[in-house]
Every structure is written in C-alpha cells, then in structure tokens.
Amino acid sequence: MSVLVNKHSRIIVQGFTGKEGTFHAEQMIAYGTNVVGGVTPGKGGQIHLELPVFNSVEETVLQAGADVSIIFVPPAFAADAIIEAAAAGIKVIVAITEGIPIQDMVRAKAYIADKGCRLIGPNCPGVITPEEAKVGIMPGFVFKRGSIGLVSKSGTLTYEAADQIAKAGLGISTAIGIGGDPIIGTTTKEAVELFMNDPETEGIIMIGEIGGGLEAEAARWIHANGNKKPVVGFIAGQTAPKGRKMGHAGAIVGSADDTAAAKMRIMEENGLTVVSSPAQIGATMKRIMGI
C-alpha cells in the first residue's frame, strides 16, 4: 500500500508547457505516472506531450477527473497556483517551486487549511510510490518498491536513503520530500503519521536537518503513540556553525534545540534509532527490522 499517490492518481502539471514543467512531465510520464493533462492559462485547448492543456485547474477536475497536482510555476505566482488547486478540489498538491516569498506561503497555507487537501512542499523533490507514480523531480530508477516509508527535508538525502535501502535488500513504500523552507504544507510529524497508519509500511526513515523543531515534534509524537514501527533517524548539518543558513531557507540554528546534536538526542530519548551518517541508513534499518 502507498500514501498520497499511487497508480490510480490522476495527476496534472501546473506550468505544463514551461521548460521545467515540460521536462519533468516527460520524466513522470516515462516512469508510468498517470498524468492526465496540464494547466497553462491562455493555452487551453492545445495538446502538449500528447496530453490536453487546460486554462484552469477547475477545468482539469471537471473534464479529466484530476485529483493530484504538481506545480512548476515561477515563485511570484506559485502561491496563487496552490490556492487555485485547493479551490478546485485537488486533494494532493505538490509544490516543487523554490523561492516562494514567505508572506505568500503564509497566505496560501491559511487558505488551504479548511479545504480538505494536503500540500507537499514547497521547495521539495515531491512524492514517489515506486513502480506506481512519480510526482516530482527525483530520479525514479533509484527507488525500489518495498515496505519502508521515507520522509525527508532534503532531496539529495532522499535519493541517498533510497539507494541505501535498495542495497540492503529492502524497498520504499512511498517517499515524501517535505521541503526545507520555513513554511511548508506537510510537517515531518504529519508525514510520519501517514506511514504509521499505513498497514503495509513496516519501518520508517526520518531525515531532518538543523533549524526548527519539526524532528523533535515528530519524535515525541512517535514515542507518545507507542513506537509502533521502527524508525531510523538522521540529521544533516552536524558541523554547521550557529547562525549560518545551510542550504535550505529553514536550515539555520536559532536556538540550542535547533542543533543537529540536540535533535539527535531528542530522537534517541524518544526511542528512534539515530545514525550519524546517511551511509548507515540501509544497514541499520535492516538490522532493527530483524531481516
């Protein structure tokens, strides 16, 4: 079983005819993802990549039954694209766009709060259910189908963890790249909760980084709910100096609890198995699952 996306998802691309939208839509289609069309205002009625182009997300829902959207829209317009998707009834919105202004994300997140949808990102690699659906920019060949759920702030470490899991003879149920911006749609805890409630996900990998409190929140939730599945955790930025942004906009140490060491300690205190290097993820997961 998967979470968020699967072979039955009906996926559209917002920003379909642009350079990034075109390139990644081609990759998604080649992977076997059920892309049913895309949106570029003013180009409705055209055919692109042998699929229909619509003027609005609402049209894709009404005419193509779309329920998942991936957004490749420039930063200045991306928040409006998120809002449009939510207003049209899209259930899973994956915002790839990097550099969306914080005030725009505050507005978008407030709007979608009561719309019954889930936002992944922004500034993320997306979501993949191996061998079923790739809704993002990740290299699909790295991901092998299996029973390990993966949630990560980092795109690159998502791919590394998936590779480590495959080398250990395991596979991924679904991988969720939540993004590393200060304001994101789905938190680490929320992603972990999806995996905990998925009967076919047997173990979880949780990759975080310096800055913010998402990993501590998730670790405490896991412990409070009985540590029902084994969780391997890793925190990037272990050598990062205080006060310096490292990579993502949200990866900056603002307090003592924001450091990698503090997060790793909290994770261990709450029953997670913490590794100091991403190279240890696969072997560690295999060991704690008793395989």
91 to 5, 95, 112, 156: CA distances (angstroms): 10, 13, 10, 26
Cα separation of 189 and 208, whole Å?
11
Cα separation of 275 and 260, whole Å?
12
Cα separation of 125 and 31, whole Å?
15
User: Is the backbone of residue 169 left (phi > 0), alpha (psi -120 to 50) or beta?
Assistant: left
List of residues 6+ apart from 176 with CB closer than 8 A:
3, 4, 120, 127, 149, 150, 151, 152, 186, 191, 194
Cα separation of 128 and 31, whole Å?
10
Residues 8, 48, 223, 248: which is the catalytic one?
248
Shortest CA distance to 72 belongs to which of 131, 114, 25, 105? 25
DSSP SS3 for 77: helix
Residue 8 among the catalytic residues:
no
Cα separation of 211 and 260, whole Å?
8
Reported residue count of the chain is 291
Report, as residue numbers or ranges, the catalytic residues. 248
